[in-house]
Amino acid sequence: MVRPRGSDEVSLYVHIPFCDVRCPYCHFYCFVNRDAQLPLRYVRALATEFDAYLDGGEFDAPLASVYFGGGTPSALPPDARAVLTQWIADSLVPRLSPQGEITVEVNPESAWAETIDPWVEAGVNRISVGIQSMDEETLKFLGRLNTPRSNLRALDLACARVENVSADLILGTPGGDWGKVLRSLEAICSRPVQHLSGYLLEVHAATRFGRDVKAGKWKPAPDEQQTGLYLRAVDWLQERGYEPYELSNFAHPGFESRHNARYWRRQPYLGLGASAHSYGGEQRWSNHRDAAAYCADVEAGKRPVDFRETLNADQQWEERILLGLRTREGVPLDWLRGREQLCAAWAAAHLVERNKGRLRATPAGWLVLDQMVAQLVQ
Amino acid sequence: MALDQAHTRNFCIIAHIDHGKSTLADRLLEHTATIHARDMRAQLLDSMDLEKERGITIKSHPIRMDYKAADGQTYVFHLIDTPGHVDFHHEVSRSLSACEGTLLVVDAAQGVQAQTINNLYLALEHDLEIVPVINKIDLDAARPDEVAMDIVDLIGCELDDIARVSAKTGEGVPELMEHIVRQIPAPKGDGAAPLKAVVFDSQFDAYRGTIAYVRVVDGEVRKGDIIKMMGGGQEHEVGETGFFRMQQVATPQLSAGEVGYIATGAKNVSAVQMGDTITTKANPATDPVLGYVAAKPMVFSGFYPISTEDYEELKDSLDKLKLNDAALTYVPETSAALGFGYRVGFLGLLHMEIVQERLEREYGLSLIATLPNVVYETKLTDGETMLVENPSQLPDPGTIESIGEPFVKASIITPREYVGSVMSVTLDRRGEQSSMEYMDGDRVQIEYLMPLSELVVDYFDKLKSVTRGYASLDYEYAEYRVSDLVRLDILLNGEPVDALSVIVHRSKAYEWGRDLADKLKELIPRQLFDIAVQAALGGRIIARSTVKALRKNVTAKCYGGDITRKRKLLEKQKDGKRRMKQVGSVEIPQEAFLAVLKVER
């Protein structure tokens, strides 16, 4: 294990793999649970895993941020939720640094006062609501349990409890034209939402959408349509003060997610729970993608890690480029020596901008970022 | 001890491709107990992976067998397995010169094919005794009686002279052995005369230098002799002599009538040219066995490493291949688009494919091979003649008086019902029919004079497809002829890509240009800008297409800090790019350089 270097803080990502329904586009590790004992075991294992890191003397640093993602944290049964809440209050909040951020992801259909309030009382200060769309048809297509009505109710509840609320939005579904996207944006921004994540729909092979597309059941929206929506959404949000500070993330100044920024800046974080990823300066490692196996390992006093890699200098540099260019800050031009011609050609095509010794992608550039990065690190 | 010539039979096997030559060789080895049944594998003599995979023989493989005949005597059989493909014609020819006879294998179902006839003529040119063999008599579709009649018509032999076998089941093989003893004459060399040994192949060995595969015609040779190449003039000291079992077996000497090897110690195979005659320095012979003709490459292609750092490795690998492939030629060349590479000369398209595949598989190189082309004989207005091996080197049209291209005599045998299709496909490729002959009831042999350039690209595939696989093709070089040829250039974003230039007949230039521009549009992946693909004839644009800019290629989400996954995706993308060549601002995939091959004609 490697001590975090170059940073006196660490972040926590906590994975809650339980969901009320499996979304057909989701390729993260999550499932609809049928084992009544598992959630409680799992939540206890999270605390044990964290303690093991602390006892090992590693990562004994103030917490810059904590992020409960999933899966669906709000879908935890009450007993497990209570244990989790207690753990937040007892173990995490005391270690949180003064500006520390604790985010919980919720889905509208399980976001009720009884779910949210205990968390907020314990110290959660940011809520991310899985809206995805304000259009009934699009939500159905996405296989969601939430509705335009429950979306607004959940947003209202979250905004009433914390100042820092984020909403997720999926763009580029087939038939999801600008009218529908605009209605979603308007509805979300009619509430005091400070942060918005807008993702283009990705169809992954190992999901139901992947199988559907392969079987020809439906076709993804044409690239031109998706990119058109994205660019219009960026403009629209920017006009309303939501700055695109990363290719899929928009925020009112001061409300950028502290947690995500640490991924992009390559600052240390610990991932707790099944399939969670950790980073400690030179190493990356991740846990089993199986909640039961994860619990068994932790309960047996073992590390639930099943993958570990040490990054060489080239890989570190590649990561800095690929992560740095996702952000509005971009990367220092120094990092791209010998690639000036490429950068100049892209600047002429308005895919990148050079500014104060740094290179950053424009929104149009973000859309082809994987291609650009592959060429840069060639 | 000198070889007992009266009890020696030297022969090879010639056959149309897939008529079962290598399987028959396997049976002979088994029957003479040269190889034990437990060591038996299929296509035993074909040692290269490529040979086994494709079911073809690329190099000659000599082997010695001892056969106890019905007359109670033991005979030494020297079998020389020869390559079966038209590209390796010259190798076949050399192997034949080491024999007194040949087995002419004909498939009992398919009957006589184009290559059977050409091989037969070749064998007759070398005065070989022919033992006709009808193979695959176990097949349901076998029609051995009909095929036998064809063979009788073709070579004027007796029906009884024809052996009927199944190399697969072994049926008829014992009888074939007796045919060999009875019909193939014993060698009649003069053991006391000065040494004359003809080189029919060679192999490079890191320890013993070049090993010449020879047939001793007259005299004898032993370790320590100073030998002299009659054609090349080089002298070598014999390090070892021996004959071939599955491995090489050293013997004190080789004598008249014998097939074996001579280790020359030469560090370079070109010091021991195939077809040359070896004699001794002390007591030289006066005439060589064969008029020596070097194999001439007919087809050229530019080979470029995808990554420029591999250039040295490409050179080393070509050097190594050359050690065992005298017909391979290569000279360095530079392409504005592809950087440093080699213009490599081949005997034909199969030879090219084999070399390319061996470079990639055995030497781990990633290559771009440009469209194969022939050598153009260009007469300039100042009276000079220039041989152009690379289309991009064709001089300015204003300085060209005429361009000549090689024509071949192509011989096609096809069932009658496909004659019309064969004619139209061949006419399309500028073939001129010179004769047409009806063979047995159903089949026709047509001969054409056609440009080699039209034949090398995909003619055979096309021929096979219009005849449902029934047609067979063989060809030989005929002559250079002047044609109305022009160079077609391809420009990407206004920049000519020299490696995509082709020389085509004027009548086809427009169609080619259009098709090529369209094909490239499909093959060049979308990039960060629009890419204009243009075809130009002498500076004039005749066709254009556009590769639209890529609009979207991004992973929107880096969830939960899983950066490893993201980096792995990037690795994949980088790998994809490794197969691409950066030309100006455009990335061109390897396939694009072969797009010219796929232009539908």
What's the pLDDT tens digit per position in B424-482? 999 999 999 999 988 766 789 999 999 999 988 778 878 888 988 778 888 888 899 99
B286 close contact with A: CB closer than 8 A: no
Please list the residues that pair with B222 across neighbouring strands: B253
Burial class (CB in 10 A: 0-12, 13-18, 19+), B514: middle
Helix axis angle, B311-323 to B349-361, nearest 10°: 120
- Which chain A residues are Cβ-neighbours of B530 within 8 angstroms? none
Test A315 with B567 for CB contact under 8 angstroms. yes
CA atoms B193, B194, B195, B196: torsion sign: negative
Burial class (CB in 10 A: 0-12, 13-18, 19+), B539: exposed
Weakest-pLDDT range from A128-132, A307-311, B90-94, B361-365: B90-94
Q: What would the pLDDT profile of B536-568 be if each residue is shown by its tens digit?
A: 998 899 999 999 999 898 887 777 789 998 888
Test B556 with A13 for CB contact under 8 angstroms. no
- Which chain B residues are Cβ-neighbours of A247 within 8 angstroms? 554, 556
Nearest-angstrom CA–CA distance, B341 and B331: 9
The 3-state DSSP class for residue B381 equals coil
CA B7: distance to chain centroid? 34
Test B554 with A247 for CB contact under 8 angstroms. yes
The alpha carbon torsion through B521, B527, B530, B536 (nearest 10 deg) reads -40
Phi, psi of A265 (to 5 degrees): -90, 0
Buried b / exposed e over A66-99, threshold 16 CB at 10 Å, is bbbbbbbbbbbeeebbebbbebbbeebbebbeee
B308 close contact with A: CB closer than 8 A: no
Q: Are B496 and B489 in contact (CB under 8 A)?
A: yes
Burial class (CB in 10 A: 0-12, 13-18, 19+), A37: exposed
Nearest to B585 among A345, A371, A374 (CB): A345
Nearest-angstrom CA–CA distance, B230 and B197: 10
Which tokens is B21 given? 């030559």
Nearest-angstrom CA–CA distance, B511 and B513: 5
Test B563 with A247 for CB contact under 8 angstroms. no
**CA distance, residue B570 to nearest chain A CA (Å):** 6
Test A369 with B557 for CB contact under 8 angstroms. no
**CA distance, residue A95 to nearest chain B CA (Å):** 21
Helix axis angle, B563-578 to A369-376, nearest 10°: 70
CA B283: distance to chain centroid? 37
Residues 524-563 of B with CB under 8 A from A: 527-529, 550-563
CA atoms B467, B470, B471, B472: torsion sign: positive
Q: What is the pLDDT of residue A2?
A: 43
Average pLDDT over residues A108-132: 97
- Which chain B residues are Cβ-neighbours of A264 within 8 angstroms? 558
Which tokens is A33 given? 């649970």
Which tokens is A221 given? 């929206």
Q: What is the pLDDT of residue A242?
A: 98
Nearest-angstrom CA–CA distance, A187 and A99: 30
Phi, psi of B534 (to 5 degrees): -125, 145
Order of all β-strands in the sheet with A352-355: A331-332, A358-361, A352-355
Residues 12-51 of B with CB under 8 A from A: none
Test A371 with B585 for CB contact under 8 angstroms. no
Weakest-pLDDT range from A146-155, B180-189, B452-461: B452-461
Residue at token pair 């169609």:
B511
Q: What would the pLDDT profile of A25-69 be if each residue is shown by its tens digit?
A: 999 999 999 999 999 999 999 999 999 999 887 777 899 999 999
Q: What is the pLDDT of residue B41?
A: 64
Q: What is the pLDDT of residue A6?
A: 46
Q: Where does residue B172 fall: left (phi above 0), alpha (psi -120 to 50 degrees), or beta otherwise?
A: left
Average pLDDT over residues B186-202: 92
Pairing mode, strands B531-537 and B339-346:
unpaired
Test B569 with A370 for CB contact under 8 angstroms. yes
pTM of the model: 0.64
Test B550 with A372 for CB contact under 8 angstroms. no
Nearest-angstrom CA–CA distance, B386 and B396: 12
Q: Looking at the predicted structure, is the pLDDT value of residue B87 above 70?
A: no
- Which chain B residues are Cβ-neighbours of A349 within 8 angstroms? 528-529
Burial class (CB in 10 A: 0-12, 13-18, 19+), B17: middle
Q: What is the pLDDT of residue A1?
A: 40
User: What radius of gyration do chain A's Cα atoms show?
Assistant: 21
Nearest-angstrom CA–CA distance, B519 and B533: 10
Q: Looking at the predicted structure, is the pLDDT value of residue B291 above 70?
A: no
A170 to chain B: closest CA residue: B556
Which H or E run includes A139?
A: helix A136-141
Nearest-angstrom CA–CA distance, A326 and A247: 6
- Which chain A residues are Cβ-neighbours of B564 within 8 angstroms? 277, 284, 286, 307, 309
Q: Looking at the predicted structure, is the pLDDT value of residue A248 above 50?
A: yes
**CA distance, residue A139 to nearest chain B CA (Å):** 19
Amino acid at B184: I
Angle at B219 (CA atoms; ends B216, B222), nearest 5 degrees: 80
Which tokens is B142 given? 């076998």
The 3-state DSSP class for residue B197 equals strand
Pairing mode, strands A358-361 and B259-263:
unpaired
Longest dimension (CA), chain A: 60
The 3-state DSSP class for residue B53 equals helix
Nearest to B528 among A28, A319, A371 (CB): A371
A371 to chain B: closest CA residue: B553
Please list the residues that pair with B240 across neighbouring strands: B263
Longest dimension (CA), chain B: 89
Q: What is the pLDDT of residue A32?
A: 95
Phi, psi of B391 (to 5 degrees): -50, -35
Q: Are B241 and B253 in contact (CB under 8 A)?
A: yes
- Which chain B residues are Cβ-neighbours of A377 within 8 angstroms? 570, 574
Q: What would the pLDDT profile of B496-541 be if each residue is shown by its tens digit?
A: 888 889 899 999 899 989 988 998 998 898 999 899 999 999 889 9
**CA distance, residue A163 to nearest chain B CA (Å):** 23
**CA distance, residue A363 to nearest chain B CA (Å):** 11
**CA distance, residue A35 to nearest chain B CA (Å):** 25
Name the nearest CA neighbour of B485 among B335, B384, B372, B373.
B373
Q: What is the pLDDT of residue A5?
A: 47
The 3-state DSSP class for residue A360 equals strand
Test A370 with B574 for CB contact under 8 angstroms. no
User: What's the mean per-residue pLDDT of chain B?
Assistant: 86
Phi, psi of B354 (to 5 degrees): -65, -45
Pairing mode, strands B163-164 and B129-135:
parallel
Name the nearest CA neighbour of A130 among A187, A169, A182.
A169
Better pLDDT: B60 or B165:
B165
Please give the share of chain B, as a percent, with pLDDT higher than 70. Answer: 91
Task: Categorize the per-residue pLDDT at A135 as very low, low, confident or very high, splitting at 50, 70 and 90.
Answer: very high
Nearest to A371 among B553, B558, B566 (CB): B553
Average pLDDT over residues A315-336: 95
